[in-house]
Amino acid sequence: MWATNTGAFSDKAIINIKWLGGVGGAQGQLENGIPIEGATLSDATKTIPNSWRDKQVVSLILNRHRNKDAIIIVKISGYSETIIIPKDAPLVTTEENWITAEPVQLETDKDDKFKEVCLSANYGEFFYS
């Protein structure tokens, strides 16, 4: 059996279930329906076959509960597949704090020299601290 899912992180998920028949292309029998937890079947009239032909594909549309993991179990003629769609990750927000400061005008271009031997930095060069 082959199964895939799409649609994580959205309100809908599409589950494609493909049965690859046993030896000689025997039909498969669905066992116990298709239990779904953490989601609901979108189309209530969707018919899920009890007897599956070789290479038959059935697509199911689910309404996800975004704050829960969705678990889907398919069992046909003893072969089973479990699909898990994880719940949405928590939304992380960041806040930027801007700091304003008054400009500080430096007297010289070198801090380790005496004021008398350094060039003046009074030509509009401001440094913020």
Q: CA-to-CA distance for 19 and 1, rounded, in angstroms?
A: 5
Going residue by residue through the chain (129 aa), what tens digit of pLDDT does each one get?
566 666 556 788 888 888 888 777 778 999 998 999 999 888 755 678 899 888 888 888 888 888 899 899 999 988 889 988 888 888 788 888 777 666 655 555 555 555 555 555 555 555 555
At 19 the pLDDT is: 86
The confidence score (pLDDT) of residue 10 equals 77
Domains of the chain (ranges plus CATH)?
2-85 (2.60.40)
Q: What Cα–Cα distance (Å) separates residue 103 from each residue in 57, 96, 111, 126?
A: 70, 21, 17, 6
Query: Rounded to two decimals, what is the model's pTM?
Result: 0.62
Residue 2, CA distances (Å) to 20, 74, 76, 94, 119 in order: 7, 10, 11, 41, 78
Strand partners, 76: 30, 79
The per-residue pLDDT for 97 is: 75
Whole-Å CA distances, 61 to 7, 111, 129: 10, 70, 58
pLDDT at 5: 65
